Amino acid sequence: IETIRPPLRQFSDFPRFFDEVAPQLRGKTVLMYCTGGIRCERASSLLKQKLGDQVEGVFQLQGGIEKYLLTYPDGGHWRGLNFAFDKRTAVAPAEGAADRVPLSRCCLCGEPWDTYLGKRKCVACDSPVLVCLGCCGTRRDKAPGADLRCPLCVEEGRTTKERSMHHEVTLKAQTTTALLRAQMAAAAAAGRKAAQAGGAPAAADGSDSD
């Protein structure tokens, strides 16, 4: 099984990402999963619109990792924490949470750490970053911030906020347009299927269609 972790900061980056990985996905069966399943609904529609019959099938984990952890309290095949878009921030399986081993690291010292403290963000892209208790110092709301960069920005060599507001708006507009096209294509396909189904009895009784 080949796995791909999208190097994305926000959902509006997906159209560009799908264009880049299209050669890897052609002829494959694609399975997606995300926090709660909502983003996969939109991403799968976008992928079908972009590649169509070039992929064998597109599937997703219904309800996302959140539902999976409810179904399998011990975590099942899941390792680590599930990032949540609320005050919980990150959620561990109900069973064995105390025995978990951090899979991520502090952005400052590199030590294993998986707890978000103080709502710290990357100076280059504003994504949340992990800073361990030792690097936070005695006060959790005071920590060095000039060098706080997320792993993706470190990998890309980004040190400043390079994207303009215009660029962000353009990306979001492109994503919305692509999703609307995907929905329109799905509706048109459903209409054609319904029309074909409606015409089937006439062809079956041997009547002349001319």
Burial call 156-176: b when 16+ CB within 10 Å, e when fewer: eebeeeeeeeeeeeebeeebe
Decide if 124 contacts 158 (C-beta within 8 A). yes
Active site residue 106: no
Q: Which of the residues 34, 122, 125, 135 is marked catalytic?
A: 34
**DSSP assignment of 5-69:** ----SSGGGHHHHHHHHHHHHTT-EEEE--SSSHHHHHHHHHHHHHHGGGSSEEEE-TTHHHHHH
Q: State the catalytic residues.
A: 34
